[in-house]
Amino acid sequence: MFFHKKVLQNPATPERPDPLFAKKLQEILGGQFGEISVAMQYLFQGWNTRGHDKYKDLIMDTATEEIGHVEMIATMIARLLDDAPVKDQEEAAKNPVIESILGGMNPQHAIVSGLGAMPVNSVGVPWNAGYIVASGNLLADFRANLNAESQGRLQVARLYEMTDDRGIKDMLSFLLTRDTMHQNQWLAAIRELEAKEGVIVPSTAPPELEKQNMSHVLYNFSEGEESSLGSWASGQAPDGAEFQYSAEPGPFTEEQKLKPAPPYTHNTLSGVTE
Amino acid sequence: MFFHKKVLQNPATPERPDPLFAKKLQEILGGQFGEISVAMQYLFQGWNTRGHDKYKDLIMDTATEEIGHVEMIATMIARLLDDAPVKDQEEAAKNPVIESILGGMNPQHAIVSGLGAMPVNSVGVPWNAGYIVASGNLLADFRANLNAESQGRLQVARLYEMTDDRGIKDMLSFLLTRDTMHQNQWLAAIRELEAKEGVIVPSTAPPELEKQNMSHVLYNFSEGEESSLGSWASGQAPDGAEFQYSAEPGPFTEEQKLKPAPPYTHNTLSGVTE
Amino acid sequence: MFFHKKVLQNPATPERPDPLFAKKLQEILGGQFGEISVAMQYLFQGWNTRGHDKYKDLIMDTATEEIGHVEMIATMIARLLDDAPVKDQEEAAKNPVIESILGGMNPQHAIVSGLGAMPVNSVGVPWNAGYIVASGNLLADFRANLNAESQGRLQVARLYEMTDDRGIKDMLSFLLTRDTMHQNQWLAAIRELEAKEGVIVPSTAPPELEKQNMSHVLYNFSEGEESSLGSWASGQAPDGAEFQYSAEPGPFTEEQKLKPAPPYTHNTLSGVTE
Amino acid sequence: MFFHKKVLQNPATPERPDPLFAKKLQEILGGQFGEISVAMQYLFQGWNTRGHDKYKDLIMDTATEEIGHVEMIATMIARLLDDAPVKDQEEAAKNPVIESILGGMNPQHAIVSGLGAMPVNSVGVPWNAGYIVASGNLLADFRANLNAESQGRLQVARLYEMTDDRGIKDMLSFLLTRDTMHQNQWLAAIRELEAKEGVIVPSTAPPELEKQNMSHVLYNFSEGEESSLGSWASGQAPDGAEFQYSAEPGPFTEEQKLKPAPPYTHNTLSGVTE
Amino acid sequence: MFFHKKVLQNPATPERPDPLFAKKLQEILGGQFGEISVAMQYLFQGWNTRGHDKYKDLIMDTATEEIGHVEMIATMIARLLDDAPVKDQEEAAKNPVIESILGGMNPQHAIVSGLGAMPVNSVGVPWNAGYIVASGNLLADFRANLNAESQGRLQVARLYEMTDDRGIKDMLSFLLTRDTMHQNQWLAAIRELEAKEGVIVPSTAPPELEKQNMSHVLYNFSEGEESSLGSWASGQAPDGAEFQYSAEPGPFTEEQKLKPAPPYTHNTLSGVTE
Amino acid sequence: MFFHKKVLQNPATPERPDPLFAKKLQEILGGQFGEISVAMQYLFQGWNTRGHDKYKDLIMDTATEEIGHVEMIATMIARLLDDAPVKDQEEAAKNPVIESILGGMNPQHAIVSGLGAMPVNSVGVPWNAGYIVASGNLLADFRANLNAESQGRLQVARLYEMTDDRGIKDMLSFLLTRDTMHQNQWLAAIRELEAKEGVIVPSTAPPELEKQNMSHVLYNFSEGEESSLGSWASGQAPDGAEFQYSAEPGPFTEEQKLKPAPPYTHNTLSGVTE
């Protein structure tokens, strides 16, 4: 169960309305790596975790915090939309400031949500659950979480560059901060699990199942051999084996050939093309 | 530019047709972490990389290999569908083997693709580009890649458990192998970058921008303190600072209040609810 | 079967082209509560209605009218796009009116549809059938219809505020009018059914199936007790029972615990995290 | 901010695993009218409400409860998937019970989530935010809420018919109960607002803006006059005016004609078709 | 405007219910090339056609017929779902016929639509407007229409193979027939336009804008020269020029290199990877 | 397998950055008929082709070329985004050129991709696989390909009108050229197949299966008889039979009536509405 407290972790109050920035801020609310994504990703991971109590609690602590971050950004967006001008742009073109606002704001903020935040990204595409990851394998999922917090903090840093409003910057600063914690915590949890399981996910599909001569080779499928200079092309691999480099990938199997289709498919008959 | 060679890295030939497994195999072709996703993710990352030659080449080597993996799985699926029975299931129910096939196969394999692979996942949802990640920040994106290869290898391992067909198992074994290499290579590349930039992405949004007292604190938003027992709640964090634990999160700001909406939004008027 | 007559219920002729308003008007054509949604919703409801002749006819009357409304708005949009300027915006920036148009119009109106209406909303997201409702239960669906006509009329009223073009306003006035009728008619139909079935949908899942002590309680899950002041927290409920208010929700069941996953899932093993 | 307590409102424990029912139950978790939809709908409505304290609190109370309902159903689904068989179906066809399970379960429950709940519906389509409604107009949105609770309770009632498992039935009984409360509460709130604003949404777009002769007419666009027999075709309408019935709709405007497209669109030139 | 007549072009009455076939039949109702697609495609083409009266009327004739085909298939699906069994499958497994039905039917037909047709395809993915084409160029669009009627008739032919029910076969026979007409009519219209404009769309982007030495060359990007044997590799091309074949594609431009990203993007800095 | 060569077919170098045009150019990269669509469509067609070697090779030649076109346009977009201004628009409004750029560019180019191309269309909707066609019937699919190349070249021609940048125009000129070849080649392949199979797809569902009196009739479902004047209403049809015109479509079947729903659906009961 969840309980709601009518406070925020940050005031989420801009110096002044700015409907254009409201549109951009939607990216970290309802985009691929917005707060809805991390909240939902952590909730499903937490609910599906079978045992593993301290990890499950860590996930639920963070999931619950993230619902509050959705609330915080939604509040900021509503305030950025206060009294947004909505009149016809061709008229407004006589006043360049008004006009630039009308041309750039998300029209759904005026037509659909009545000056409220929406569960969409910065171009207005609705959030969808195809963004999230919850596999039941903790090491795999903590890597997903580290990825999400890395992409998320990167987007917050970019938005920070795009405004001079001190209220917005203060909230973005708060988000940068918490994403630092969240990157740190998932890194720490990953290190714990890697120390026990090794670095290859899943650890339970062991090397014996693999084709040994191919498991540490970098194949040169793109012209140029710059990639052979990296730490991934020679020396010890993270899992302890030796990296190899193959300048000319191969051997390969024979040509891909398929059997003819049966008549009931109404595919092109063999005879037609002979 | 790309060039196509009419060979595969693995024979991709099952012992016998199995339209039900064809449906399941679609997950690693057209699912969130299927081969289309990694191919497209790496292609966009490679094309957008500005300089950084050895990394760009590594990405393009791998991207190009992955297009070949899409081809390989598509070939396997077409062969698993050879001569799939398509007759009416109620009739077929008299023959339990036929019937189980009809009930479980993806009907689009018969109606839409004419016994061919489709760019969809194991429940038939079309692949979409909202799955992929290409941010321009290499450390962020290599974490996305490590995540993708971890989830992908996990799914391959699960499919491996679901069949006794030696041809399918041979191809899945090949995929387990290459995913081991790909996890290793992204891990190696991540370590190179972390050694130079530190572990927090982006390194260019420095601690000064943050709210220092909140950047390493685990807040206890979910009842129970099991999470305080992990390496993420005390001791040195991966970025070198000290983790802290806050059993009772706070302080918070005041209540979230919004200004009334202007009349032109036709939102509920203030007077109505007083 | 359907038949088409080459007339409209409203002239759908703007005073002058306005490609920016064309973009906004797409919301009530191809948005969540646009005319495609109501047309498709009513068509599927009507086709699926089993008996109930006067209701089925009412639904089909309205469905068929709505296809005509799609046509009307599509016509208006095409006219608003007449001779839309499409030249490069950086050049156009020297002329602020042209420039504001270029910056704000939907680029697909120029590139994809050749100055025609599209089945998309005001940010360009294609219409999809996940918007519509047709459940086979008339009272449930008439509530869906009342909702759709309420949201739809609200959006029309907002668009009405955004323009001074008398031709557009005339068409929007027509739509306001018909949405008034449609709200009235669904309200009347709802009252007929509620009088016979009661207000809780479905009436055929009776109170005996319920947990009686929980069916009329408002639980206070959000801090603050303002909600206890409403007509939903005490007194007679619409279905005749008495509302109750619970300031401290409970009792609850024990902690959510799940069994370990079997090994073939390759989830994290129990031993790893102990 | 939100806080999580490790309890549920219902035990959510089935008598025995049933992966087929797990698939079906996804509808009320991640479908159009599943618990994710109501949770997100109420959260966005609550966050965007500007003033109107008792309504805002009511919305937030209910929103927060619904997040807990997502948790409850996710828990039930995970338990229904305990030890789900995943072996190849063609083999399994020799055992009809196993086989029926394999043919009917959602393959992603085995391949993607590792026997956990997913944010998808009963056919595996991911949840998306295009399902939800938050307009800023309380009366409009309470109608959306009444609709959602009506469709939702209807689906729960149908699922109740599909199982004999007493644990599942107990949880569905709980959901039937709470949906009764939620229908009652939104009905009560609607009645409060209608008493103050009238029944037509939005009340702030008054009759003067409308085409008076068309605002209460049922047009007979579908052959047959059964619809003229309802309470929506004559007598007093819910807003107080008189309903009318028009057996032969009209008058209409002239034919829909559009201007030729300019040459830079590369549309078909006028001359070509003359 | 549209008018509805309560008749169908075909009885749409199956010999007996068959919920499994109902699921499959959804493909030609709500799939990529189902009747909703052609109805919507033709409606938008017709509404957007500027002049060209006989073509516009042809499009509208066909569009209006197709709405009736949606109705016809929806009716058939509702009848195939009559009294569909919905009880729990594990129980049902004791009766193989019942069980095969439960395992294979679309669960939403029971849970969501109450035994009615839905605007989805054969795997349950909702129809979306990204399927349709309406460009304003008649020759381009008639090719889209020919494509749609070809794919559509192919799918109908495949469904025809999958059933022995004479009622279903009769309706599919009707659809095969009308798709023959529609292929013929779009072919005839294409020939009219090609005779006037030439075969390359758009005719208004003339050869002078092109790179002449590349406009009729088949490049051999896929190993093997089988493609050089076709009528597209030598001899006269449909537009009158001569086809050429290039066994070794080239020349190409220099390597793809991009400028470094500016610091405010927080992309990986140049220095980090040197 | 595929191999990558670090060259392009065209320099893809604009005269100067232009983030607004970058947004528009996304249409032919990630839109319905962008290069991702044709690349994926041809790849799946090629991989699924069963025999038919010269056609399969033709498809794979073209598919592989198209992946290179995606690369080319992605490169152009990245260059158009070089040093794109990203500062707050309200500030920028004082400088009309900067401001017009900020208002019109895709915010995700700054926030999400770090000035790189994205797999989305010109309004930011992600590419999805529901756009593509691969049916196993070559004639059907070559018509899909001709459609795609016609729509694609039309969009390129429109973009060509929208810019004066010689570098962009040079690349668009290249694309116009290759689309001419591709239209020619699919036309040639279509003519080969039509000569052998006839013009109606699929040829294997013969006239005997059809309702002969309806297979060549144009029904007048839209008021006005302009359509009777075309070559599709009388004279010889492309398949050799005679076209007919029916001014008053009919005969039709009786009224669409459905059986009542069973009680377990909780649909509206028959008694309620009588």
Residue with tokens 């607002």: D193
Q: Which amino acid is at A64?
A: T
Q: Can you state the angle between helices D138-161 and C138-161, rounded to 10 degrees?
A: 150
**Per-residue pLDDT, D10:** 96
The percent of residues above 70 in pLDDT, for chain A, comes to 94
Q: Name the average pLDDT for chain C.
A: 93
**Per-residue pLDDT, A254:** 79
| Chain-chain contact of E136 with D21 (C-beta, under 8 angstroms) | no
In this complex, is the C-beta atom of F259 within 8 Å of any C-beta atom belonging to chain C? yes
In this structure, the answer to whether residues B231 and B131 fall within a common structural domain is: no
DSSP state of C204: T
Q: Name the average pLDDT for chain E.
A: 93
Distance from CA of C96 to the nearest CA of D (A): 22
d(CA A153, CA A33) in angstroms, rounded, equals 9
| Chain-chain contact of A24 with F50 (C-beta, under 8 angstroms) | no
In this complex, is the C-beta atom of B259 within 8 Å of any C-beta atom belonging to chain E? no
In this complex, is the C-beta atom of D54 within 8 Å of any C-beta atom belonging to chain A? no
Q: Does the bond joining F202 to the residue before it have cis omega, within 30 degrees of 0?
A: yes
Distance from CA of D257 to the nearest CA of F (A): 14
| pLDDT classification of D218: cutoffs 50, 70, 90 | very high
F197, F224, F256: which is the final residue of a domain? F197
In this structure, the answer to whether residues A113 and A232 fall within a common structural domain is: no
d(CA A226, CA A220) in angstroms, rounded, equals 10
| pLDDT classification of A204: cutoffs 50, 70, 90 | very high
Q: How far is CA B36 from the centre of its chain?
A: 10
In a domain, A120, yes or no: yes
| Chain-chain contact of B209 with A173 (C-beta, under 8 angstroms) | yes
In this structure, the answer to whether residues F50 and F173 fall within a common structural domain is: yes
d(CA D8, CA E142) in angstroms, rounded, equals 58
Specify the CATH number for the domain of residue A192: 1.20.1260.10
Question: Subunits that touch chain D (at least 3 Cβ pairs < 8 angstroms)?
Answer: A, B, C, E, F
d(CA D202, CA D184) in angstroms, rounded, equals 22
**Per-residue pLDDT, D83:** 83
**Per-residue pLDDT, F64:** 98
Range of the structural domain that residue B65 is part of: 19-197
Q: Name the average pLDDT for chain D.
A: 93
Q: Are C129 and E120 in contact (CB under 8 A)?
A: yes
Q: Which of residues 87-116 of A touch C (CB under 8 A)?
A: 87-93, 96, 99-100, 102-104, 106-108, 110-112, 114
**Per-residue pLDDT, C196:** 96
| pLDDT classification of E258: cutoffs 50, 70, 90 | very high
d(CA F78, CA F60) in angstroms, rounded, equals 28
| pLDDT classification of E95: cutoffs 50, 70, 90 | low
In this structure, the answer to whether residues B178 and B220 fall within a common structural domain is: no
The percent of residues above 90 in pLDDT, for chain C, comes to 86
Q: Which amino acid is at F221?
A: F
Q: Are E108 and D121 in contact (CB under 8 A)?
A: yes
In this structure, the answer to whether residues B192 and B212 fall within a common structural domain is: no
Q: Are B29 and B70 in contact (CB under 8 A)?
A: yes
Residue of D6, D188, D205 with shortest CB distance to C232: D188
pLDDT at D31 over 70: yes
| pLDDT classification of A27: cutoffs 50, 70, 90 | very high
In this complex, is the C-beta atom of E226 within 8 Å of any C-beta atom belonging to chain A? no
pLDDT at A83 over 90: no
In a domain, F251, yes or no: no
d(CA C208, CA B68) in angstroms, rounded, equals 60
Three-class SS state of C203: coil
Give the tens place of pLDDT for each residue, C100-146: 666 689 999 999 999 999 999 999 999 999 999 999 999 999 999 99
pLDDT at A98 over 70: no
d(CA F239, CA A24) in angstroms, rounded, equals 55
In this complex, is the C-beta atom of A28 within 8 Å of any C-beta atom belonging to chain D? no
In this structure, the answer to whether residues C133 and C229 fall within a common structural domain is: no
* Bridge pairing between strands E244-246 and E217-219: parallel
In a domain, B61, yes or no: yes
**Per-residue pLDDT, F83:** 83
Helix or strand (DSSP H, E) at B60: helix B53-80
In a domain, E4, yes or no: no
Q: Which of A16-25, A27-36, C252-261 has the lowest mean pLDDT?
A: C252-261
In a domain, B258, yes or no: no
Give the tens place of pLDDT for each residue, E25-64: 999 999 999 999 999 999 999 999 999 999 999 999 999 9
Q: Categorise residue E226: left if φ over 0, alpha if ψ from -120 to 50, beta otherwise.
A: alpha
| pLDDT classification of D250: cutoffs 50, 70, 90 | confident
Contacts of F85 in chain C (CB under 8 A): none
In this structure, the answer to whether residues C148 and C229 fall within a common structural domain is: no
In a domain, B24, yes or no: yes
In this structure, the answer to whether residues C160 and C28 fall within a common structural domain is: yes
In a domain, E10, yes or no: no
In this structure, the answer to whether residues B95 and B172 fall within a common structural domain is: yes
Q: How many other CB atoms are there within 10 angstroms of residue E5's CB atom?
A: 17
| Chain-chain contact of B129 with F68 (C-beta, under 8 angstroms) | no
Contacts of A8 in chain B (CB under 8 A): 252-253, 256
d(CA D128, CA A40) in angstroms, rounded, equals 12
Ordered alpha helix ranges (H), F93-244: 96-104, 107-111, 138-161, 166-197
d(CA E204, CA E211) in angstroms, rounded, equals 16
Burial class (CB in 10 A: 0-12, 13-18, 19+), A94: exposed
d(CA D188, CA C239) in angstroms, rounded, equals 10
Distance from CA of A79 to the nearest CA of C (A): 19
| pLDDT classification of D85: cutoffs 50, 70, 90 | confident
pLDDT, average across residues E191-216: 95
Residues of the binding site of D: 35, 57, 61, 66, 69, 149, 182, 220, 222, 224
Structural domain count of chain C? 2
| pLDDT classification of E94: cutoffs 50, 70, 90 | low
Distance from CA of C226 to the nearest CA of F (A): 36
Q: Are C6 and C72 in contact (CB under 8 A)?
A: no
pLDDT at C93 over 70: no
Distance from CA of B238 to the nearest CA of A (A): 6
Tell me which residues of chain F have a pLDDT lower than 50. Answer: 89
Residue with tokens 């032969």: D248
Torsion of CA E164, E165, E169, E172, to 10 degrees: -110
**Per-residue pLDDT, F235:** 97
pLDDT at A86 over 80: no
In a domain, E61, yes or no: yes
Contacts of C74 in chain E (CB under 8 A): 44, 47-48
In this structure, the answer to whether residues C56 and C146 fall within a common structural domain is: yes
Query: Which residues, in sequence order, are bridge partners of residue C126?
Result: C120
- C-alpha distances (whole Å) from E143 to each of A195, E16, E127, E135, E149 are 60, 38, 22, 11, 10
In this structure, the answer to whether residues B154 and B30 fall within a common structural domain is: yes
E89 or F246: which leads in pLDDT: F246
B66 has binding-site annotation: yes
| Chain-chain contact of D88 with B21 (C-beta, under 8 angstroms) | yes
Distance from CA of C274 to the nearest CA of D (A): 20
Q: Strands, E, within chain E: which ranges?
A: 2-4, 217-219, 244-246
d(CA F231, CA F208) in angstroms, rounded, equals 25
F175, F197, F219: which is the final residue of a domain? F197
Q: Are E102 and E87 in contact (CB under 8 A)?
A: yes
Tell me which residues of chain B have a pLDDT lower than 50. Answer: 89
In this structure, the answer to whether residues F180 and F233 fall within a common structural domain is: no
**Per-residue pLDDT, B116:** 97
In this complex, is the C-beta atom of F10 within 8 Å of any C-beta atom belonging to chain E? yes
